[in-house]
Structure 1
Amino acid sequence: MESPLIENEEVEPISLSVVASTETSKNEKTLGNEINIKDKDDEELEEININQAIITNGDDDDDDDDDDEEDNNQYNNGTLIKLPKKYERSFSNYIMISHLITRMGDKSWAFIIPLFLITLSPNSLIPISVFGLSQYLFRLLFGPTIGKMTDKYKKVQIIKLGIFSQAFAIGLSCIILFILFKHVGVIENSTTSSTSSTSTSSSTLFSSDLSIFLFILLLLLSSIHSLATQMMDISVERKWTPSIVKRDSILTKVNTRMRQIDLGTEMLAPFLAGLVAQLCGATAFIWIGVFNFFSFFPQYILLKIVYDRVSVLNLKIDKEGLIDFKDGCDLSTFIYGGGGGDDDDQSNLKTKKSFKQFLMGEWNPFTNIIKGWIVFQRQSVFLVILAYCLLWFTILSPHDSILTAYLSNQGYSYIELSIFRGLGAIFGLGSTLLYNRLLKSKNVFKDNMNKLSLFYILEEGIFVLISGLFFASSLSNWVNKYIFMISIILSRCGLYGFEITEIHYVQRLVHHSERGLVSGVESSLCSLAVLIMFIISSSLQSTNNFFILIWISISFVLTGGLSFFVWFLKYNNIDKNLNVSNI
């Protein structure tokens, strides 16, 4: 079934004033309210033959008594527009398990590659810098294009493309690294002498045309892997999950646990990768690469189970019951548009036109950046997304390489920096664990995600400002030194707490036909933030000017807080219309 959405159709942004109304017309494209539907008999629910798909969730057992009441609006004129609650929980568990498996592999790979690049070129930081910059640059240029693809094409085909691209990039990267290590002589040295001999190898990464060519190929593959990961994140988190999980209470839990998985693997994966590197030496990348490569298979199997069992139900992802979960264009039309017909000349003309459109228009990254920005700025949640992106225009993070290098130069020990990084992830994880509890508690935040998000973003702004004040007072004083670090650690609570709300609002308040493109623009903006901070830091002539980076970072974070505050004043009661309750 082809999607009724025409590619060039202008989709009106979802109006929050419409969301706030108690009655909506059939033609209004708002995702804020669920449609009240007539009750269906329990016998009809029993006809949904997906009982084998159920994975129970012990944390939600106390809500089971409310299932009947909440499942009354599953149908619209006999069309399934909302799954029963237990099925939403089951399928979201499949999605989260697949996310956990692949995140472990990706985080391990991201940690180990820079270590081996410095082994290949021990006297230069250029390979590591270029490696990181290439990924951010590709995300900046192709983020909107990737997002557009997730909007236009069939969900299962996008998943196949993303997983295949990831596996292809990782597998070939392992082969290239093995050849590079053999060429430079690292593997031979590691098997015949101590680890220190690797730094005295006569060859380096830039010692021959072959090694340079292989390094460039490695950069290309890493960028492909980064884009494929972005495609999977947008497709699964921003497209699949809100289409399957229609209840905001369950959706918020899923978003929270996805962030917990990200932060948990951020701590655990580098530790395990470092342990493997310690035990296996120069060949560790092979074992980590093999694990990462094979992690994509269970990811695909779990997502395919979800797709098959949702597809058989003919679930509609829009409230009017017009757009099916399986709808979308076929990927075979990515380059060559649908020709057809008995007239070969007419078919060739369509093919040439489509190929020209591919090169110069539809899939030109610069065209998509412009179109993406036009769509992005007219969204009702524009200020929320902008606020989130501005939080990334900073070096005041325990995970920021620029800040880590500076603190090391200022005399911070390796153990201090390690604890600093670990505590940043732990406090970020803690904020996600408290998120649902704060929404459930009987206080000012009860069932009000907007107020809770304002608290989180103000918390980050206050603590980065405190860190700047103590930095200005001189880090030579041990009190200032540790308050500076503690303030940055505490600011992580605000970032990761606010991120949950930002994702939820994008999932619910951006039309499903534009959600991928808007998410791609968001990713592109975050990549731009990292690149800008890198360029500014590279332009500084001395570490004595590091305070400039500090106050630029603080300014961006405070501007992000101001952006969300304007949104808060305008849409303070939006959560009542999104049914953020019983979380």
Structure 2
Amino acid sequence: MLVFSYKKRIEEIWDGWLTVVCYTVVIVLADVANLASTALTIAIQRDWIVVITGYNRGHLAGMNATMRRIDQVTNILAPLAVGQVMTLASNVVGCGFILGWNLVSLIVEFFFLSRVYRIVPALSVKPPALEQQSYLEKKRERICAQGRTSASTTGAPSEESTSTLRLEEIRRIPVCLHRLRGLLSTCREGWRAYYRQPVFLAGLGLAFLYTTVLGFDCITTGYAYTQGVSGSLLSILMGVSAVAGLLGTVLFTKLRKTCGLVNTGVISSGLHLVCLLLCVCSVFAPGSPMDLSHQRHGYLLRGGNNQPLLPDRSSIHWTNNTVLFENAPAGTEPESYISIILLFLGVITARVGLWSFDLTVTQLLQETISESERGVVNGVQSSMNYLMDLLHFFMVISAPQPQHFGILVIISVLFIFTGHTMYFLYARKAKRKPRTNT
């Protein structure tokens, strides 16, 4: 709000460098908020739900599906609400609306979470493994204290005195290096715990699905504008995509009851891949701008007809990782809309299998991971998801032109196919072991 309100004054200070500082602060605050949101999601959707449902797989599936439906409904309403506010008012009013909504939501969220914490006493019980770890740490400290005492009285070297000397050497290390060493050790142990899980391949397969441009993010949205798709139509397509995600949660609950959890993932994977074949067909369909001989210089500023490829920043709205432009750039209509229709038809229909598969892997992680490692393993899983999501931005950097978007589509499908193949390997291994259903 401050940057939008005092934009002209900020640009005049420090030869415009204050603008860079302001945006840096905004980005850092957004990263911290995203980190906190990820931690909250792990705590609620990966740990609390398991405890609240009493480890009952049927109730757990219903709770996971309900939580995901809430997310999908939010994805329908949030972009529409924020987009309308910014269109009818201004960016400053839109930021104020988001600010006020988050402050009210924070109070409501804190009230409900604290009430659930009081209603379910099991949430406040420390896992046995963590209690044992705390006991071992206290015991280690007690042994070290005894070692110091014995060394001072007898003067003879012992194992305890040796460990005491090592502790003293560690204490001489600067605090910053000691903390860095502890952080690296924690990360290493987290990755080891993640790799040891029997559901490791399923989780890694889910992470591979994040390396894709086949979603309603800023990349696909920007490409859609170069193909003559209007902002209002994109908003409608986003809503339809969220509805498809809701159908995916319904499909998950139905398949889990009739086919079992592991088979639900197999069916969802197949459905997801079949729908994405439409996206592959769009690369070679009439109207596709696919042209590998196209030069990459100047693509951001000028199109083939010397017209701006992207509109001015003043006509851009950001809503939940999606860029909405007020007007499509002029002169960018394709010769045929068959390609873009096939692309979004594949993206939207694939959401059904995608969200069903996501819920399957989520519940597998909840069921198979012990309570003492649930937070660590899910934290590593989230890290893998973000890492693979970051990789798809590097893909776009290497092939940024609309004429090369078809390459990104094919690469995305290959990553998704690899992820589902990992799940198929896990499912094959899991079916060999008898599973008990409750």
TM-score w.r.t. length of structure 2: 0.73
Q: CA deviation at 1:480?
A: 4.2
CA RMSD between the two structures: 3.3
Alignment match of 2:81 (pick from 272, 283, 287): 272
Alignment match of 1:213 (pick from 21, 40, 53): 21
The residue aligned with 2:7 is 184
- Contact kept in structure 2, 1:205 and 1:212, CA below 8 Å: no
For the pair shown, which has the larger CA radius of gyration, 1 or 2?
2
- Contact kept in structure 2, 1:448 and 1:575, CA below 8 Å: no
> Quick one: structure 1 residues 353 and 389, their matched pair in 2 at CA, closer, same or farther if it must change by over 3 Å?
same
Is 1:468 matched up with 2:280?
yes
- Contact kept in structure 1, 2:208 and 2:416, CA below 8 Å: yes
The residue aligned with 2:209 is 391
Once residues 327 and 264 of structure 1 are traced to their aligned partners in structure 2, the CA distance between those partners, rounded to angstroms, is 42
Once residues 519 and 358 of structure 1 are traced to their aligned partners in structure 2, the CA distance between those partners, rounded to angstroms, is 26
Once residues 181 and 480 of structure 1 are traced to their aligned partners in structure 2, the CA distance between those partners, rounded to angstroms, is 38
Once residues 314 and 492 of structure 1 are traced to their aligned partners in structure 2, the CA distance between those partners, rounded to angstroms, is 33
Is 1:529 matched up with 2:388?
yes
- Unaligned segments of structure 1, at least 5 residues: 1-176, 186-200, 441-445
The residue aligned with 2:307 is none
Q: Deviations over 1:58-86 (max 9, x none)?
A: xxxxxxxxxxxxxxxxxxxxxxxxxxxxx
Q: CA deviation at 1:253?
A: 0.7
Q: CA deviation at 1:422?
A: 2.1
SS at match of 1:474: coil
Once residues 205 and 254 of structure 1 are traced to their aligned partners in structure 2, the CA distance between those partners, rounded to angstroms, is 52
The residue aligned with 2:116 is 306
The residue aligned with 1:80 is none
- Contact kept in structure 2, 1:184 and 1:205, CA below 8 Å: no
The residue aligned with 1:436 is 253
Alignment match of 1:227 (pick from 35, 49, 53): 35
Q: CA deviation at 1:541?
A: 5.8
Identity of paired residues, percent? Answer: 25
> Quick one: structure 1 residues 237 and 575, their matched pair in 2 at CA, closer, same or farther if it must change by over 3 Å?
farther
Counterpart amino acid of residue 361 in structure 1: R
- Contact kept in structure 1, 2:204 and 2:422, CA below 8 Å: yes
> Quick one: structure 1 residues 565 and 518, their matched pair in 2 at CA, closer, same or farther if it must change by over 3 Å?
same
Once residues 525 and 308 of structure 1 are traced to their aligned partners in structure 2, the CA distance between those partners, rounded to angstroms, is 33
Once residues 250 and 5 of structure 2 are traced to their aligned partners in structure 1, the CA distance between those partners, rounded to angstroms, is 46
> Quick one: structure 1 residues 309 and 211, their matched pair in 2 at CA, closer, same or farther if it must change by over 3 Å?
same
Q: CA deviation at 1:248?
A: 1.1
Map 1:4-403 onto structure 2 (within 5 A): 177-178=1-2, 180-185=3-8, 203=11, 208-245=16-53, 246-281=55-90, 282-311=92-121, 322=128, 355=175, 359-364=179-184, 367-397=185-215, 399-403=216-220
Q: Deviations over 1:209-237 (max 9, x none)?
A: 33322222211111110110011011111
The residue aligned with 1:451 is 263
Once residues 206 and 461 of structure 1 are traced to their aligned partners in structure 2, the CA distance between those partners, rounded to angstroms, is 52
The residue aligned with 1:48 is none
Counterpart amino acid of residue 23 in structure 2: F
Once residues 272 and 123 of structure 2 are traced to their aligned partners in structure 1, the CA distance between those partners, rounded to angstroms, is 43
Q: CA deviation at 1:255?
A: 0.4
Once residues 43 and 177 of structure 2 are traced to their aligned partners in structure 1, the CA distance between those partners, rounded to angstroms, is 24
Alignment match of 1:571 (pick from 422, 427, 430): 430
Please, which moves more after superposition, 373-382 or 251-260?
A: 373-382
Once residues 314 and 561 of structure 1 are traced to their aligned partners in structure 2, the CA distance between those partners, rounded to angstroms, is 34
Counterpart amino acid of residue 219 in structure 1: I
Q: CA deviation at 1:388?
A: 0.9
The residue aligned with 1:14 is none
Q: Deviations over 1:336-384 (max 9, x none)?
A: x99xx9x9xx9x97987794575222224xx444333222222100111
Once residues 391 and 411 of structure 1 are traced to their aligned partners in structure 2, the CA distance between those partners, rounded to angstroms, is 28
Once residues 241 and 438 of structure 1 are traced to their aligned partners in structure 2, the CA distance between those partners, rounded to angstroms, is 21
Q: CA deviation at 1:542?
A: 3.6
Is 1:553 matched up with 2:412?
yes
Q: CA deviation at 1:454?
A: 0.7
- Unaligned segments of structure 2, at least 5 residues: 149-163, 288-334
